[in-house]
Amino acid sequence: MSKKIAFQGELGAYSHEACVHARPNMEPLPCTSFDDVINAVRTGAADLAMLPVENTTYGRVADIHRLLPDSGLHIIDEAFVRVRICLMANKGTALDTIKTVRAHPVLIPQSHKYLTARDIRGESAVDSAGAAADLAANPEAGIGVLASKMAAKTHGLDVLAHDIEDNDTNTTRFLIMSPKANMTRRGETHMLTSFVFNVRNIPAALYKAMGGFATNGINMTKLESYMVDGEFTATQFYADIAGHPDDEDVQRAMEELEFFTSEIKILGTYPAAFARD
């Protein structure tokens, strides 16, 4: 039986594309929500999870940072997908007949210039690949969908326009997660370590907590704060650093971090993807 990798969305979603590129020998398993993706791995219905964490255009993906710390899963790899937006419609449709396009709310503003120039109205859908599947099953005149080329191929729609996104560097970063951590690899590129932490309630705690990384020459590639437990005073931080927990300089930095934090949780150590460079 083939191994499975779970993702959120319908077949043809950008997350599906990430699965195909990063794990071509695994069977993609579509799930309704991010919680369902995590639960699929927890229950053994899937072997790995593919979760988007951030996009170069619209920033971090909502809810992901909230879910990761308590997911019980470990980051074992990262993957990047260049978000190429296609306008698609039912077979035989002419581009100049399209008056409305449906897509996930984040895709519509990413194609603002193209849609505005052609007086095409955007209409929000729960899922772009799902909108493609719905249009294929229920053809409508004057209606198009914004989604990936894979979605058009999967659901039998014609691509009327390619690469219509405003930003030609539009890219989404994904994390590949497993029930088991893998701390043995060093990879062909440098290693990354992701973790979350809560600072202690003392003056300049975050500044002091970050000092160990500066003095030990550790490159922090990402640092984000977000509220937890519905309280403005309960702030958790998510960080990515270049290095492995077994490296002496990383050990020293993490030991110093412990003095100024109430909790630290390592989410994973994994090779930096070639696409990062």
- pLDDT tens per residue across span 8-42: 999 999 999 999 999 999 999 999 999 999 999 99
For residue 58 the two structure tokens come to 């619209």
DSSP letter for each residue of the chain? ---EEEEESSTTSHHHHHHHHH-TTSEEEEESSHHHHHHHHHHTS-SEEEEEEEETTTEEPTTHHHHGGGS--EEEEEEEEE---EEEESTT--GGG--EEEE-TTHHHHTHHHHHHTTPEEEE-S-HHHHHHHHHHS--TTEEEEE-HHHHHHHTPEEEES---S-TT-EEEEEEEESS---S---SS-EEEEEEEEE-SSTTHHHHHHHHHHHTT--EEEEEEEEETTEEEEEEEEEEEES-TTSHHHHHHHHHHHHTEEEEEEEEEEEPPGGG-
Q: Per-residue pLDDT for 7 more than 80? A: yes
Q: Are strands 191-199 and 231-242 parallel, antiparallel or unpaired?
A: antiparallel
- pLDDT tens per residue across span 105-146: 989 999 999 999 999 999 999 999 999 999 999 999 999 999
Q: What is the pTM of this model?
A: 0.91
Q: What are the residues whose beta carbons fall under 8 Å from the beta carbon of 91, sequence distance 6 or more?
A: 156, 157, 158
pLDDT at 234: 58
For residue 163 the two structure tokens come to 């690469």
Please tell me the total number of residues recorded for the chain in this structure.
277
pLDDT at 185: 78
- Which residues are catalytically annotated? 172, 174
Distance in angstroms (rounded) separating the CA atoms of residues 77 and 13: 20
End-to-end CA distance of the chain: 36
Cβ atoms within 10 Å of 31's Cβ, excluding its own? 22
Which pLDDT band holds residue 230 (cuts at 50, 70, 90)?
A: low
**Lowest-pLDDT range of 84-88, 145-149, 167-171, 267-271:** 167-171
User: What residues form DSSP beta bridges with 81?
Assistant: 172
- pLDDT tens per residue across span 57-103: 888 887 888 899 999 999 999 999 999 999 999 999 999 999 999 99
Q: What are the residues whose beta carbons fall under 8 Å from the beta carbon of 204, sequence distance 6 or more?
A: none
Please, what are the domains in the chain?
4-83+170-178 (3.40.190.10), 86-161 (3.40.190.10), 192-269 (3.30.70.260)
CA 261 from chain centre, in angstroms, equals 27
pLDDT at 93: 96
Distance in angstroms (rounded) separating the CA atoms of residues 226 and 179: 25
Q: What are the residues whose beta carbons fall under 8 Å from the beta carbon of 72, sequence distance 6 or more?
A: 38, 42, 179
Q: What are the residues whose beta carbons fall under 8 Å from the beta carbon of 275, sequence distance 6 or more?
A: 79, 80, 171
Q: Are strands 121-124 and 74-82 parallel, antiparallel or unpaired?
A: unpaired
